Structure 1
């Protein structure tokens, strides 16, 4: 079963924008904060293959080990990291952006992602519930990524 995901989340951090911009300079460290990321492999200039641990519920027999590759670009002036999927890799196509917004002495982190997970094994009796269930699991991963990023920024001060 193919499942579409679309997530928009944000989090405020009590760190000035100038101190948060380092997230755009160290792309690999920023990516590695994403939960369930099992392996990150460089496949080109600013291009990475993600291999994730199972997402879902093994008890409900809805668990998917997502893998995909994306090409990343940084727009330091706009405070944005964006990515586009590389189609020849994995079982998903995911694109999005991670933005930094100055708010005086604080910064807002915004994360927008959308894409398609392909070949998600879902038992017939769960097919109606699976899309919202998987969307919820991914939303929690994004929230955790933002929290991990906030914590890393706070400890580096």
Structure 2
């Protein structure tokens, strides 16, 4: 038995660095991922495709781990970096984008948008209780990621 939790996130913020610097960091998936908290393992699957394995949360047989893979595409002229899910990889389906706009020579406006569906091996009776916990944890991880990115510059 399993439940699926859907999450949609949107963030907008400014990074105190040039467009080129910000784009270079965000388009480099391993470098960008190094700022994301609780990543257990990031595996390069080739062709700009990566499998993310997050740290396990919980205890023993009740531990939950998010695993998913995405293919990344970067278009510097359009100011867009996108990721699409790779089917059959893990228990998550994640897609999203970064949209960047230069804000003068030394600042970049950034929009982050992601959608995730995580399937976890729990009884459906727990969906109402566990869904908000998973959403809160995901929000917290993304907020920490955004703060880490700002501090990187």
Bin of the TM-score, shorter chain as denominator length: 0.7 to 0.9
Question: Which residue in the other structure is 1:14 paired with?
Answer: 16
Match of 2:39 among 17, 37, 40: 37
Residues 62 and 107 of structure 1: CA distance in aligned 2, closer, same or farther (over 3 Å)? farther
Please report how far the alpha carbon of residue 63 of structure 1 lies from its aligned counterpart in structure 2 after TM superposition. Answer: 5.2
The CA distance in 1 between the partners of 2:129 and 2:78, in whole Å, is 38
Please report how far the alpha carbon of residue 122 of structure 1 lies from its aligned counterpart in structure 2 after TM superposition. Answer: 5.9
Please report how far the alpha carbon of residue 109 of structure 1 lies from its aligned counterpart in structure 2 after TM superposition. Answer: 2.2
Please report how far the alpha carbon of residue 78 of structure 1 lies from its aligned counterpart in structure 2 after TM superposition. Answer: 1.9
Please report how far the alpha carbon of residue 62 of structure 1 lies from its aligned counterpart in structure 2 after TM superposition. Answer: 7.5
- Equivalenced residues, count: 149
Residues 151 and 42 of structure 1: CA distance in aligned 2, closer, same or farther (over 3 Å)? same
Structure 1, unaligned runs of 5 or more? none
Q: Which moved more, 1:114-123 or 1:85-94?
A: 114-123
Is 1:148–2:113 an aligned residue pair? no
SS of residue matched to 2:132: helix
Residues 134 and 20 of structure 1: CA distance in aligned 2, closer, same or farther (over 3 Å)? same
The CA distance in 2 between the partners of 1:32 and 1:17, in whole Å, is 20
TM-score, normalised relative to structure 2? 0.85
Residues 63 and 101 of structure 1: CA distance in aligned 2, closer, same or farther (over 3 Å)? farther
| Runs ≥4 residues deviating over 6 A | none
Structure 2, unaligned runs of 5 or more? none
SS of residue matched to 1:11: strand
Please report how far the alpha carbon of residue 24 of structure 1 lies from its aligned counterpart in structure 2 after TM superposition. Answer: 4.1
Aligned partners of 1:101 and 1:109 also within 8 Å:
yes
Aligned partners of 1:94 and 1:114 also within 8 Å:
yes
Deviation per CA, 1:83-136, whole angstroms, max 9, x where unpaired? 000012101110001222222242122211102101243683x42132222112
Question: Which residue in the other structure is 1:128 paired with?
Answer: 128
The CA distance in 2 between the partners of 1:63 and 1:132, in whole Å, is 17
The CA distance in 2 between the partners of 1:132 and 1:63, in whole Å, is 17
Question: Which residue in the other structure is 1:85 paired with?
Answer: 85
The CA distance in 1 between the partners of 2:53 and 2:98, in whole Å, is 20
